[in-house]
Amino acid sequence: MSFPLSRLFVRKQYEYQKVTKDASETLRSTMNVQEISVFLLEKIVDTVQILNGWLMLYDRRAGQFEVVASHGSPREAHFGFKFRPYSYLVEYLKNERREFWFDNLHKSAHRRGIDRKDWEKIERLGAKLVFPLMGKNELIGMLFLGEKRTED
């Protein structure tokens, strides 16, 4: 697990070990990538207490990153949202191997690199940050997270 994401778990003193144990037990009995993706995203969203998030994985046949699981936004909101392997955001995550924050992006140099349509979709979906998902030194997916839930 990446350091910033693990900080989110620890920051609020979540039951990190319990979540890890539950996740491990479920993953051992599940072999379907779609089911695993939905399960992991739901676990992260519930544990970190965010309103929305989505998970994109690289589809080798299509040659692009596609949404495989989402939470908190209607399917049609992210339907057709894809990233090509050569897009600015994908290159950043692949090379930097760290999270990318979207807050104040319009003021940063990074804003100029992201395609306008991608930027508008990211804004509409309410993403605040994205984590790279690495496997065998390659970017295999992206985890987008939105706003934290307000405590009532």
Q: pLDDT at position 148, please? A: 86
- Choice among 26-30, 35-39, 60-64, 67-71 with the minimum mean pLDDT: 26-30
Report which of residues 79 and 105 the model is more confident about: 79
Which class for 64: exposed (0-12), middle (13-18), buried (19 or more C-beta within 10 A)?
middle
CA torsion through residues 67, 68, 73, 74, sign = positive
E strand spans, the chain: 53-59, 64-71, 82-83, 100-101, 129-135, 138-145
Q: pLDDT at position 80, please? A: 75
CA 45 to chain centre: 10
**CB-based contact 100:92 (threshold 8 Å):** yes
- Percent of the chain topping pLDDT 90: 24
Report which of residues 51 and 108 the model is more confident about: 51
Residues 6+ apart with CB under 8 A from 124: 77
Mean pLDDT of 40-69: 89
pLDDT digits (tens, 9 = 90+) for 1-42: 455 555 554 555 556 667 667 766 665 665 677 788 888 888
Q: pLDDT at position 122, please? A: 82
**What is the band of 125 on the pLDDT scale with cuts at 50, 70, 90?**
confident
